[in-house]
Structure 1
């Protein structure tokens, strides 16, 4: 078995590799020409060709998130928080979603850092990026070569399973994988709380939580909770920085389609040319639509949040003032211990027998 120090060192080297890549890309707005990055450059091009929701910007956002995730002060503190690591290695199957680039990276990290073997079921929407990062880890330490494998076929030969997908696929996962130790995740969304004291800078930060990855992530804000009398159109002023979203054909097609549906139904909505605001209690919203709803006071707000508890991934509020929330602009930057669906993946993996 790889020692813990070997595992730590490999991911530290991966962080350096990605950080170097991102720095060059942001400086030149072009793919780095260093031969170290040849395979990664090719994977990015194939990822964008495969999934039109993926862009260079969104992939760099994902890379930057991984770099931050693996920052020494967070990474080492996180792994040192777990005291007992298994002696027996298990093969852990991970079914990955493809809604945003490399959304399965945290599970990949947890499986390998726990000492188990990783078997990844790649999404057809994102089959290129993570395998290249895995190859880099093997280059850093060849002892990883037998511990990482990927497939696009149905998973088999595993001891435990981690599966992420829609509500429908979660029922499928439960049926097929229920007899194995498992973590099964379904649809979740994120919400924002405004208290009326938010300034334009706050709204601009909130816009990052809404528009990053075209709003397709489980940490993307899809519903905004507003205080009494708040004019929702005030939000549009802070959203101007994302006006070029309308130049993405798939996003704009969704915008036009959803606007047409609302017009035909005679529903009330607000529109700034690239985003639709609609008063709606449902937490999830279609692409290019942001739901909002009003609360009367903090007690009412607590009731609204509690009623959606099982479907909430993340809450954002000014200065993270609401309990268990993050500040505006930080929803898409989960910390390494921010586990999806609040299930401690490492604890699950370390208890496998």
Structure 2
């Protein structure tokens, strides 16, 4: 199976993902799948909410659109051309998280494009989507059946391991897979640095960084760094368009729970009916809550980021990633800053 064949199949898969992500109906076999196959994928998307209450149809479609944006032929060719894979056919275990739909897809893509075998252990929170799309991938090139394996029990004798989870699960991964070549990722989060010069449009885009996937991803902004005199009313005014999120039952339950806790503790809060904001140096805020920290100068900001670097996935702001971009990472935006393709290329 050549690299050209693998890329061609993923590009075709990306077109299907894009159509489904945009909520389009099946149009013709030019898409590469039949009407029945397309409708099967639609059913899988529509029923995810019954398996995981956070996986609403809109949430799944957002993930599909973001993944499809990666699967562009020219970008894939350029990306893969940077690496030389001397060892292929290796069984690389991928232990996937389940916080957002198909969150392990980038690892899956790396393993398969490198010519190795993806041994996937899915999260119980997200165990239907990837297998469904693997069927489509194998339709575009049946040779993929030999390169994809899903396991439910213990992983036996992999050649390497890529595992993503919480800080607690990372300890487990290190204990059981420490003897293998590995990438073990812990929990991280993202934050935004405000200067006070942001436009309304930029603050509105920041809302996307906060609310996409209900705030469950490691790339979701959970804390704001802001100048001492920043007026939070400007921020609240810009994000009013995201208010519909409170109509999601699980999000609303989190919002109400933490509002009650903070009020009982007599904590100072600012809220707008769908987001609680609280001054707190912690990076990880609960769902429905956004922490903020006020700073004096840029030097304080840089030291703050440096001291917490191991817990930060991404930073948005005027001198960092653009507002609204954090949920659409590119092929080379590797989780935790660890180059997955480079890791695979070093396997002997």
* Pairwise TM-score range, normalised by the shorter structure: over 0.9
- Deviation of residue 20 (structure 1)? 2.7
Residues 14 and 71, structure 2, Cα contact 8 Å, conserved in 1: yes
Note the residue ranges of structure 2 that are not aligned, 5 or more in a row: 28-32
* 1:266 match: 266
Q: Which residue is equivalent to 1:55?
A: 56
Q: Aligned to 1:20, what secondary structure does the other structure show?
A: helix
Work out whether residues 251 and 287 of structure 2, in 8 Å CA contact, stay in contact via their aligned partners in 1: yes
Structure 1 residues 146 and 280, CA gap change in structure 2 (3 angstroms):
same
Cα separation, partners in 2 of 1:26 and 1:298, compared to 1, 3 Å? farther
**Structure 1, residues 130-157: CA drift from partner, whole Å, max 9, x if none?**
1111111111111111110112322223
CA RMSD of aligned residues (A): 1.7
Q: Is the 8 A contact 2:255 2:287 kept in 1?
A: yes
How big is the shift at 1:41? 1.7
Cα deviations by residue, 1:259-310 (Å, 9 ceiling, x for unpaired): 1110111111101111100001111100000001011111111000101100
- Paired residue for 1:20? 19
From the superposition, tell whether residues 308 and 273 of structure 1 become closer, same or farther in structure 2 (CA, over 3 Å).
Answer: same
The 3-state SS of whatever aligns with 1:152 is: coil
Q: For the Cα contact (< 8 Å) 1:191–1:225, is it kept in 2?
A: yes
Number of equivalent positions: 343
Given the alignment of the two structures, is residue 117 of structure 1 paired with residue 112 of structure 2, yes or no?
A: no
Structure 1 gap segments, 5+ residues each? none
CA separation of 1:27/1:329 partners in 2, compared to 1, >3 Å: closer, same or farther?
farther
Partner SS, residue 305 of structure 1 = helix
Contact 1:86-1:114 at 8 Å conserved across structures: no
Give the 3-state SS of the residue equivalent to 2:97 in structure 1.
Answer: coil
Deviation at 1:195, TM superposition (A): 0.6
Indicate which of 304, 322, 327 corresponds to 1:327: 322
| In 2: Cα distance, 1:40 partner to 1:291 partner | 38
C-alpha distance in structure 2 between counterparts of 1:33 and 1:44, whole Å: 17
1:271-282 matches, within 5 Å, as 271-282=271-282
Between the aligned partners of 1:130 and 1:245, the Cα distance in structure 2 is 26
Match of 2:66 in 1: 65
SS at match of 1:25: coil
TM-score by length of 1: 0.94
Alignment match, 2:10? 11
Q: CA offset at residue 27 of structure 1? A: 11
- Structure 2 length as normaliser, TM-score? 0.95
- On the 8 A contact 1:86/1:115 being kept in 2, the answer is no
Distance 2:10 2:64 in 1: 13
2:251 is the alignment partner of 1:251: yes
Deviations 1:224-260 (A, max 9, x none): 1101211223211111111111111110000000011
The aligned runs of 1:328-343 (5 Å cut-off) are 328-343=323-338
SS in 2 for 1:145: helix
Q: Following the alignment from structure 1 to structure 2, what is the Cα–Cα distance between the partners of residues 117 and 88?
A: 8
**Residues 88 and 114, structure 2, Cα contact 8 Å, conserved in 1:** no
